[in-house]
Structure 1
Amino acid sequence: MIFGAVDAERIKLQSVRSPLWLALTVAVLSLGFAAVQAAAALPYSTLGPERAALGVAMFGVPVLMILAALSVTGEYRTGMIRTTFMATPHRWQVLVAKAIVGITLSGVLAALMSLGSMILIQAMVDGRQGEQLALTEFGVWRTTGAVALYAGSAALLAVGLGALLRHSAAVIAVLLLLPFVVEPLLGATPGVGSKLGPLLPFANANAFTGIPWLQSFSMFWGPVGSAVYFAGVSAAMFVAAVMVVGRRDP
């Protein structure tokens, strides 16, 4: 039954144009920012894989989160969710199917755009500046995998949040304000940032991907711990959504 639900979600994704446009937006933001970095690089500087993937992590992943959330809120907006639940009475299977499709799409796109950004930058700068971006370098694949894991976990978080809030505007506001406004303000607040900052979800995402970002506090754990923490927060949000959706009228 779960395989049928996954296939149904895949068909839904292919039947509308918005996922394609959002995927193109991810590509433009990711590769465009990579090109800007390459053009602005100083003659004697070097560009590492973490910096090359900055556009993917900072701009591409939020768009992928919105795409994952809209797969849920869009059905609530149109009322199609009732038909979906009638076709699949076990509602948790619907959310799991949406999560599987969202995680897969987000992870694959994030990995491709990360590699694409690194290849683009390496092609635009001289050999010494882009020596860390060669595909034979371990750091390239480590960063690509980390960004893909971040994107997949973020998609799971977005599906859960979308199921809980059900309104597209509210979900998009939370998904954008949390990493770009709320967390930076909390992390920079004197007396609070050093204690609360290491517990912020997206601060942990930045820590395990290694993406350079404004952060004035030290983490409680290393990159692996940050990855587990962010994945745990995403999983907790999804489990909460499954429990609520199973009891709430569509």
Structure 2
Amino acid sequence: MTESHEPSAAAEDKRHLRTIKSFVMRAGRMTEGQQRGLDLGWPKFGLKLEDGAQDFDAVFARQAPRTFEIGFGMGHSTLEMAAAAPEQDFIGVEVHRPGVGALLNGLMTQNLSNVRVYSCDALEVLRNCVADASLDRVLLFFPDPWHKARHHKRRIVQPAFAELIRQKLKIGGVLHMATDWEAYAEYMLEVMNVAPGYQNMAADGHYVPRPQERPITKFERRGERLGHGVWDLKFQRTI
């Protein structure tokens, strides 16, 4: 009997998570405010992937509940959450520079100090900069659904993603996801329901009502008026 050299499913998941990006880099024009954010806000609030593992208690100069947000877009929700919970700390990651500049400008405008920002791949930050069992929450709001079947491999929510997040969450920590694509919500549910070490926090084992701490975006309000749905999923690390 010969030994198989085919990669295991877990190994394939990890390889895909490393090599297949869930986002597309887009060039965008900077507004004056966004450029101001990058020029003046980055030295105050920016963190670099190449600096490696961080002691976030030292970064924020305190111990506090810590939220990690993957892909904050233009930063509107991040700003609202940080302003509403000054006793908590937030680490936001976004690849698109105009959004990074917008968030940094907002932090300065609102005089907030409980947010730090990375401008790179969030999964690389999690692997290289965040200690295991150190996060209270991970947020993934409205990721690209990659709705065509041939692009599903690009979806960020994969078994290896679930395991990486589980490692970084504290026991009892929560992964909160939201999407306005029902098919993607169903896919997320399928992945997370079989992911080891998690418990679905929905009473019916499906979706939770929109939590008050997740801000409603302008896009979401417009969608609600048109009858579009939004699905929230919360999974808690158990082991």
Q: Is the pair's TM-score, using the shorter chain for normalization, greater than 0.5?
A: no
* Greater radius of gyration (CA): 1
**Higher normalized helix content (fraction of residues):** 1
TM band (smaller chain): under 0.3
Q: So what's the TM-score if we normalise by structure 1? A: 0.27
